[in-house]
Homo-oligomer: A and B are copies of this chain.
Amino acid sequence: MRIATIKDVARRAQVSLKTVSRVVNDEPSVRQETRARVLKAIEELRYRPNASARSLRGATAHTIALVYDNPNPHYIISVQHGVLAICGEAGFGLQIHPCNSKSPTLADDLTALAQRWRLAGLVLAPPMSENTELLRALTANAIPLVRIISAASDPGDGYPCVYVDDRDAAYAITEHLAQLGHTRIGFLWGGKQHRSSPERFKGYEDALRDYGIGIDKKLIVAGDYSFDDGFRGARRLFRLKDRPSAIFGSNDEIAAGVLAAARAAGMNVPYDLSIAGFEDSPISRQSWPALTTARQDTEAIANHAARLLIAQIRGNADAVGNEGFRPELVVRGSTAPPRPRN
| Interface, chain A (partner B; CB < 8 A) | 1, 3, 46, 48-53, 55-56, 61, 73-74, 76-77, 80-81, 84, 93-96, 98, 112, 115-118, 140-142, 227, 253, 256-257, 259-260, 263-264, 282-283, 285-288
State the CA gap A46–B61 with chains docked (Å).
19
| B56 lies within 8 A of A227 (CB) | no
22 pairs from A and B in contact (CB 8 Å cutoff)? A3-B115, A49-B116, A51-B116, A51-B117, A52-B53, A52-B56, A73-B73, A73-B76, A73-B282, A76-B77, A93-B95, A94-B95, A96-B96, A227-B286, A253-B286, A256-B286, A259-B288, A260-B286, A263-B288, A264-B288, A282-B283, A283-B283
State the CA gap A98–B88 with chains docked (Å).
11
Report the minimum CB–CB distance from A272 to chain B (whole Å).
15
State the CA gap A112–B88 with chains docked (Å).
13
**Residue numbers in B under 8 Å from A48 (CB-CB):** 112, 115-116
Q: Which of B81, B84, B260 contacts A288 (CB 8 A)?
A: B260
- What are the nearest 4 A-B pairs in CB distance? A73-B73, A260-B288, A73-B77, A263-B288
Give the number of copies in the complex: 2
**Residue numbers in B under 8 Å from A140 (CB-CB):** 1
State the CA gap A285–B339 with chains docked (Å).
30
State the CA gap A227–B117 with chains docked (Å).
40
**Residue numbers in B under 8 Å from A285 (CB-CB):** 227
State the CA gap A76–B49 with chains docked (Å).
30
**Residue numbers in B under 8 Å from A288 (CB-CB):** 259-260, 263-264
| A98 lies within 8 A of B117 (CB) | no
Report the minimum CB–CB distance from A172 to chain B (whole Å).
25
**Residue numbers in B under 8 Å from A80 (CB-CB):** 96, 98
State the CA gap A3–B114 with chains docked (Å).
11
State the CA gap A309–B313 with chains docked (Å).
33
State the CA gap A137–B80 with chains docked (Å).
28
**Residue numbers in B under 8 Å from A116 (CB-CB):** 48-51
**Residue numbers in B under 8 Å from A117 (CB-CB):** 51-52, 93
State the CA gap A80–B253 with chains docked (Å).
22
| A1 lies within 8 A of B56 (CB) | no
Nearest chain B residue, comparing its CB with the CB of A281: B73
State the CA gap A98–B94 with chains docked (Å).
12
Nearest chain B residue, comparing its CB with the CB of A65: B93
**Residue numbers in B under 8 Å from A287 (CB-CB):** 260
State the CA gap A141–B2 with chains docked (Å).
9
State the CA gap A288–B264 with chains docked (Å).
8
| A94 and B93 in contact, given A56-B50, A73-B74, A77-B76 (Cβ under 8 angstroms) | no
Nearest chain B residue, comparing its CB with the CB of A285: B227
**Residue numbers in B under 8 Å from A51 (CB-CB):** 61, 116-118
| A1 lies within 8 A of B141 (CB) | yes
State the CA gap A96–B55 with chains docked (Å).
19
